[in-house]
Structure 1
Amino acid sequence: METAYRVETVRAAEAALLARLPDGTLMARAAAGLAAACAGLLRPGLSGARVVLLVGSGDNGGDALYAGARLARRGAAVTAVLLDEERAHPGGLAALRAAGGRAADTAGAEALIARARLVVDGITGIGGRGGLRPAAAGLARAAAAHRVPVVAVDLPSGVDADTGEVRGEAVRADVTVTFGTRKPGLLIDPARAYAGEVRLVDIGLGPRLPASPDLAALGDADAAALLPRPAAESDKYRRGVLGVAAGSARYPGAAVLTVGGALRGGAGAVRYAGPAGDAVIARYPETLVSAGPPGRAGRVQAWALGPGLGDGPDAARAAADVLAADVPVLVDADGLRLLDPERVRARSAPTVLTPHAGEAAALLGTTRERVEAARLASVRELAGRYGAVTLLKGSTTLIAAPADSEGGPGPVMVNTTGTPWLATAGSGDVLSGLIGALLAAGLAPLDAAAVGAHLHGLAGRAAPMPPMASTVTEALPEVWARLSPPR
C-alpha cells in the first residue's frame, strides 16, 4: 500500500529521528538519493554534463546543494542559481564550491538553463504555500521553455504538499525525488500532474510515522486481500444480492451497465427494479427483474441507486424507497440530485456517494472549477456534510470517510489505477454496480469504494482500446482473475 503523510506529521517524525542521529545525517541521506536519481538521468555522459540547481532558502535548497556537490565530484559541471545568497544553506553552498561547483545569481540564469542537460528544483520545500514568487516563476518558465528535464527536490516548488492544490505558478518536474514518505500532494491532482515520476528515498522515517496515514492507495495485493471469495457452503444469497434502482425509458442503457458492473463485480444475484427491465433481461438473463417499486423487489444486502434514473416523480419515489431500506446504499448520478443531507445522515445503514466534479459542485453549492482545484477539501466536505463515504471521481479519484466518533477527520484513500480513457459515457454506471456488489458481499463502505475504484481502473487499462463502458465491464473478469486466481 502506498501511504502519504502531511507536512506536520513528517516534521514530527524528522524531529524524533534527528534527536537520535548526528547533525546532518538526514540531509546527507536525502542528498545521496537525490544525486543518484540525477546521475541516472545523466547517463551515460555524466562527466562534463551541465547541471543547474535552482536554490531557495532552507533545507530544500541544502538538499539540492549537497546533491550538486556529489555530482560535481563525479565530473558534472554544476552551477547553483541562488535566489537569495544570504539565505542559501551555508554548509551546502560550501560543499558545492569545495567540489568544484559554482554559484550565480538570477541575472544570467536563463542562459545557464538553456545550456543545461538537467535542472534541479530546490526552490521551496514541503512547507511552501501558494505559487512561486516572480523571480522563481521566471526560472520555472525558462526550464519549461527550453525543455530541459527537471528533477524536483521532495515536491515541485509552488504546489501544496498537504492538499495537492496549485494556487499560482509552479515548477513542472519530470521526476520528483521525495524523502521519507510520499506527501498527499504528490498523489492528488492538480499537483500530481506537476510531479512527473515520483521516486521515494528511504531516510529512516518509517518507524516514526503513525500507523494511520493521512492518505493511502491500495496496491494490487491490498485489493486482492479484500476481494470476496465464496466458500464451500456459499449460495447466491450468501455471496450478496444487490438491488439496482437505475435506468428509465429514456436511459435504459444505464440500468444495463449498472447491472453488468454488479454481475461482473461478484454479486451472487442482482435484483433490478425499474422501467428498463426488458433491456436488462435481454443483456443479462441472470438478473431478477421487477417493474418496481424497489421495496417490493425482494431481499437484498445493498442497493445501487441513481444511474439514468431521471428526475420525475417515479424517480423520487424510487429514491425514497431505497433510502428507507436498512441496508447499505450507493447513490450516483441522478440519485444524487434527490438527496437531502439530513435524511442521509439519519439513515441507520451506511451510504456511499459517487459524484463526479460537476455533481459534487452542485451538492456543495460551488463551481466545478473549485472542486477540481481543491479535490481533497471537497471530498472531505461532502463526506462530513452527508455523513457518508464519498468517492469523488475525476483525474484523481479520492474516497473519504466521514469524521470518526471523536470528531477527527476520517481516512482518505486515493485510487492510482485509472486512465483518462475511462472518461467515457456509462463508465460511472459500471463503477456503481461494481461497488454496490462489493457492499452486498459485506465489504465495509470505504473498502468497497476503494477496491471498486481499483478494479475499475485496472479494467479500463485492460479493455481493448479505445475502451467503452461495456468493454470495461467485460474486462473485469480478467482483472479479477489476475488479482485473485482461483484456488
Structure 2
Amino acid sequence: MKNSQMIDKNSKYVVSAAEMKRCDEATISEFGVPQDVLMERAALSICKYVKKALPEGGKVLILAGSGNNGGDGIAAARLLYQDKIDVTLVLVNHSISDKASSTKRSKACSNQLKIALSYGIDVVDFDSATLSTQIKKSDVIVDAMLGIGCTRDLSGDYMSAVWEINYSREDYDGKFPHVIAADIPTGINTDTGQVHGNAIRADETVTFGFLKMGLVFYPGAAHAGEIHIVNVGITEDGFLGDFPKFKYVDIPEKNEIPRKLLPPRNPAGNKGSFGKVLIAAGSRKISGACIMASESCIRSGAGMVKVFTEEANLSAIQTLLPEAMTEVYREDGMEPRNSEDFKKNTENLLKSIEWADAIVCGPGLGKGNSGIQIMRIILKNAKIPLILDADALNIISENKEIRELVVEYEADIIMTPHLAEFSRLAGRDIHDCRACIMDETARLAKEFHASIICKDARSVISDGTGNYINISGNDGMATAGSGDVLAGLLGALVLSGYSNVLEAAVVGAYLHGVAGDMAAVKNGRQGMTARDISGSLREIFSGNIG
C-alpha cells in the first residue's frame, strides 16, 4: 500500500468474520491469552451497557446461543446475578435437559453454562409460547444468540426468538425493553450487512475488538443501533502482520478534524500557491452543478477557481459566485465542423489547462458532443490531477475511445461514481454491484489506475491496493448536487499537500460526510440541500464544529 500517513494515523480496521476469527484464534494460540479471559472481558463489557440502560430494580433477559457468542451472554448473566440484578437466561437452540444439546455447544459455552447453573441462575430452555411473557417482564434484553456466525437464513428457535423480540413490541403500549446485541445482531451477515430472513433490531450493539463489516453496511447498520467498540484483549497484534483489507476514518472529537486530517497551510502562501483548479462543468440546460462544485472548491481551500462552461451559465456564476473566474463556450461551437469556433474554444480550454494545477470534470457537463470533445481535449493534453464525476463517468461508460484515454492518462485520477454510474462503468447490473462493491471498486481502480470513490450509503474508496469504507454521512445527503460538492472538495484537497491522491480521496469522502452530518443537525435530513453541505465545509475548515 502507498504511504498514506495522515489517514493511517487516524483510521481503524473494519473486519470480516474470517479476519475476526483469525485474530481471535491467534490471540489465544500465539500469545497465550486464555479464551476464558477474553470471554470474561466480553461479558464485563456487555454488563457495562446493560447497567447503563437498566432502571433501578429492573429485570434483564439474556438469550444465549450454543456458540462462543452464547458463552459471552451466559457469562454476562452470571456477572449480573452476582451484582444482585434480576436476570433470566434463555438457551436458544440448545437445552439444559437434552443431552444431545451438549454436542451443539462450544467448549467455552459449556463451561460458562456449568458455572451459571452452579450459581443457581434462572436458566430456562427456549419456548416461543412463553418468551412473549418473559419479554413483557424485562427492561433490557441481550441478544447473544449467534454473533458473527450467521451465514444463512434463520430457522427454528433462532427465527422464533428474533420474531418475538422484534414484533411483540406492538403489544406493549409503547413500552419495550432496551435491546443490546452482543458483537452483532442475530440474523445479520458479518461480511455484507445483509439480513438472513430476519434480524434483531437492537438499540445498541457492543462489538468486540474491531468494527464488523456487517455493522457498517446497510441494512445491518440500521439494525445495530448505537455501536460501542470495546477492547476485550484482542488487538491488531493477533493479525500476525496479515492485516484486514479495509479500514475506516473516524475522528470522535470533530473539532480535532482540522488538526488531524488537514495538512498545515503555508502562512506565507498566496492565492497561486494554494492551487488553481479548473472546473469543466455545466451545460446549456444545467447551471447549478458547476456553481456548486466551484463553490465547494473555493470553500475547501483552493486559491483560485476557473469555470469552463457553456455561456448560458455565465450570468449565474457571476451573480452567485463572483470569486470564480470564467471561460465560456457555446455548445454548437464545440462541433469540429464549426472550425473557427471549435478552434477558438479548444485554444481557450488548452490555455485553461495550462493555467490549472488540478481539474474537476463532469458535473452537469452533458453526454453530448461538447462534453465528449471537452473530455478528449483534457485527457490528451493535461498532466495534472483530475477528478472525474457525473457525466464524465457516463461518457467513459459509453465511449470506448474516452475510456482508453482515461486508462492511459499519465497523472493522478479520482473517479466519484454513485452506484448507478459505477454499475455502468463495471458493465454489471446495479444489484450485482452492490453485492460485490468492495471487490469491484478495487478492480476498477486497477483498470483505470485511479482512486475510486463508489458513493453509496457507505462509500467504498480504493486505489486497487489501499481500501477504505467511509462511515460518515446520512440519508439527507441523497439530494441533487451533493456529488458536485464532493467533486469540488476533492479538487481542492488534491492540491493541499497529502502524501498521495488516495489519501485526499479518503479524507474528502469523510469530510463530505461530516459536513452532511452537520447540515442535517441544522436543517434536518429531509430538508437539507447540497449547498447546506457546502456551507458546513467552511465550519469544518475553520475548526468551528459543535
Fold-level similarity (TM above 0.5): yes
Please give the alpha-carbon distance, in whole angstroms, between the structure 2 residues aligned to 1:454 and 1:97: 48
Whether 2:259 is the aligned partner of 1:259: answer no
> Would the aligned equivalents of 1:401 and 1:446 in 2 still touch at CA under 8 Å?
yes
Alignment partner of 1:287 out of 324, 345, 349: 324
Unaligned runs of 5+ in 2: 1-9, 96-100, 170-176, 329-344
Q: 1:127 and 1:349, CA in 2 relative to 1: closer, same or farther beyond 3 A?
A: farther
Matches within 5 A, 1:302-321: 302-321=358-377
SS in 2 for 1:376: helix
Q: Secondary structure at the match of 2:453?
A: strand
1:248 paired residue among 283, 287, 303: 283
Matched, 1:106 2:132: no
* Worse-superposed segment, 33-42 or 102-111: 102-111
Assess, with a 3 A threshold, how the Cα gap between structure 1 residues 304 and 13 changes in structure 2: closer, same or farther: same
Structure 2 counterparts to residues 69-148 of structure 1, below 5 A: 69-73=78-82, 74-85=84-95, 86=101, 87-88=104-105, 89-99=109-119, 100-108=121-129, 109-147=131-169, 148=177
Query: Which residue matches 1:406?
Result: none
Q: Look up the match of 1:51.
A: 61
Segment drifting more, 25-34 vs 344-353: 344-353
2: CA distance, partners of 1:95 / 1:442: 58
Q: Which residue of 2 aligns with 1:338?
A: 395
1:264/1:51 CA distance change after superposition, 3 Å = same
Matched, 1:449 2:471: no
* Native 8 Å contact 1:114 1:143 kept in 2: no
TM-aligned CA deviation for residue 155 of structure 1 = 0.9
Contact 2:453/2:461 (<8 A) preserved: yes
Tell me which amino acid in the other structure corresponds to 1:319: M
SS at match of 1:474: helix
Find the aligned partners of 2:152 and 2:384 in 1 and give their Cα distance: 44
Q: Please tell me whether the aligned partners of residues 190 and 373 of structure 1 are also in contact (alpha carbons under 8 angstroms).
A: no
SS of alignment partner, residue 207 of structure 2: strand
Residue type of the alignment partner of 1:261: S
Deviation at 1:226, TM superposition (A): 3.3
Q: Percent identity?
A: 29
CA distance in 2 between partners of 1:259 and 1:425 (Å): 15
| 3-state DSSP of counterpart to 1:242 | strand
Distance 2:436 2:158 in 1: 24
Look up the equivalent residue of 1:30 and give its one-letter code: A
Aligned to 2:4: none
Could you tell me how far apart the structure 1 residues matched to 2:376 and 2:395 are?
Answer: 9
1:216 alignment partner, one of 244, 248, 259: 248
Q: Does 1:25 align with 2:37?
A: yes
Structure-2 separation of matches of 1:222 and 1:411: 21
Correspondence for 1:4 among 3, 14, 39:
14
Length, aligned pairs only:
475
Q: Alpha-carbon deviation of 1:460?
A: 2.5
Q: Distance in 2 between matches of 1:119 and 1:429?
A: 44
1-structure distance, mates of 2:391, 2:20: 41
Q: Which amino acid aligns with 2:248?
A: A
**Please, what is the CA RMSD of the aligned residues?**
2.5
Aligned amino acid, residue 11 of structure 1: K
Question: Structure 1 residues 317 and 478, CA, compared in 2 at 3 Å: closer, same or farther?
Answer: same
Matched letter for residue 278 of structure 2: G
Asked if the contact 1:163/1:377 (under 8 Å) is kept, the reply is no
Give the corresponding residue for 1:13: 23
Equivalent of 1:239 in 254, 274, 279: 274
Matched, 1:477 2:538: yes
Q: Quote the Cα distance in structure 2 between the aligned partners of 1:207 and 1:260.
A: 41
Secondary structure, aligned partner of 2:81: helix
How far 1:13 sits from its partner (Å)?
A: 2.8
Change (3 A) 1:217 1:230: closer
Listed as ranges, the matches of 1:61-72 within 5 Å are 61-72=70-81
CA contact under 8 A between 1:244 and 1:303: conserved in structure 2?
yes
Equivalent pair of 1:30/1:63 in contact (CA under 8 Å): yes
Gaps of 5+ in 1: 404-409
SS in 2 for 1:236: coil
1:192 is aligned to 221
Larger radius of gyration between Structure 1 and Structure 2: 2
Aligned residues of 2:515 and 2:540 also touching (Cα < 8 A):
yes
Contact (CA 8 Å) 1:163, 1:374: kept in 2 or not? no
Deviation of the 1:374 alpha carbon = 4.8
Q: Corresponding residue for 1:421?
A: 476
Aligned 1:425-444 pairs, distance under 5 A:
425-443=480-498, 444=500
Deviation sequence 1:323-368 (CA, Å, 0-9, x none): 3321121111111111155433322112111111222222223343
Structure 1's 33 and 462: CA in aligned 2 closer, same or farther, altered over 3 A? closer
Of 54, 61, 67 in structure 2, the residue corresponding to residue 42 of structure 1 is 54
- Compared with structure 1, are the counterparts of its residues 196 and 238 closer, same or farther at alpha carbon in structure 2 (3 Å cutoff)? same
- Structure 1's 23 and 216: CA in aligned 2 closer, same or farther, altered over 3 A? closer
Distance 2:436 2:134 in 1: 35
Q: Are residues 166 and 300 of structure 1, via their aligned partners in 2, closer, same or farther at CA, if it must alter by over 3 Å?
A: farther
The separation in 2 between residues aligned to 1:344 and 1:260, in whole angstroms, is 26
Q: 2:194 & 2:110 partners in 1: Cα distance?
A: 31
Moved more, 362-371 or 120-129: 362-371
Give me the whole-angstrom Cα distance separating, in 2, the residues matched to 1:57 and 1:231: 60
